Structure 1
């Protein structure tokens, strides 16, 4: 089992709060303040969990520059109070950046829960090599 430090636990909390504020901002008809706050918390929590240098290396890999530009550009657009356009850009960038992690996440969700129909669906999605 992987042990995490107290500093990384704080990062997980920041990511969780960031996702909560983003979800809450979307539910409140794309409230730009909540979305911006959620984005800042999410990115700072991610940097705390894996470290600043590894975060920078992840986002600025040559093959991920397109996704990074859309993701960070979407955050900038949200900060400039165009929340709908910013969230659309962020969503595309998020999918482009984390495309390789989706089968792993679906495979994990298939083994964690004991829900008959959803477990089989998540396991099937986790076994595929691509989601496109």
Structure 2
């Protein structure tokens, strides 16, 4: 059974992860400053590694289903380092979404229970978009599709629903 107690290593890891997100945010605010973005990436990666442990993070990043996300996150980090921060952040964002796509339902429930933001996430339009995304991910269980495939899936689903309503 896994232990969810908060020891000093996990506290430091969460702090590093938070600072990594903060430095990445500052790097984007300051017109994609590559120094801040690189520092944010290093802190985020080391924070995640400290929080869940070296063995668990190696298993997480090397899992077959996460391979595409790991490679794109690494390529994005490399692009930030060599001086192409905008393209690097786009590639990293794609890798981040692919890597942490399994955590989105948990995050959605957490956001719905927050006092102010929860009201926004409980609106019908936002709930329907989240429902469509969930259906799309269920349709492609072992395959994380691209954003354009998601748009095409939603469009086809809406067309089918409209044709069904006319009958």
The normalised TM-score by structure 1 is 0.88
**Which residue of structure 2 aligns with residue 44 of structure 1?**
46
| CA RMSD between the two structures | 2.3
**Which residue of structure 2 aligns with residue 76 of structure 1?**
78
In structure 1, C-alpha distance between the alignment counterparts of 2:24 and 2:10, rounded to whole Å: 21
**Which residue of structure 1 aligns with residue 20 of structure 2?**
18
Shift of 1:13: 0.5
Does the residue aligned with 1:112 lie in a helix, a strand or coil? coil
Aligned positions, number: 131
Higher RCO, 1 vs 2 (CA within 8 Å, ≥6 residues apart) = 1
TM-superposition CA deviations, 1:73-120 (whole Å, max 9, x none):
101111112111110110111111111211110111111325563251
Instruction: Out of 115-124 and 93-102, give the one that drifted further.
Output: 115-124
1:104–1:127 CA distance, 2 compared to 1 (3 A): farther
1:121–1:85 CA distance, 2 compared to 1 (3 A): same
Contact persistence 1:102–1:126 (CA under 8 A): no
Looking at CA atoms only, which structure, 1 or 2, has the larger radius of gyration? 2
Contact persistence 2:112–2:119 (CA under 8 A): no
1:105–1:80 CA distance, 2 compared to 1 (3 A): same
In structure 2, C-alpha distance between the alignment counterparts of 1:87 and 1:99, rounded to whole Å: 17
Does the residue aligned with 2:134 lie in a helix, a strand or coil? coil
**Which residue of structure 1 aligns with residue 97 of structure 2?**
95
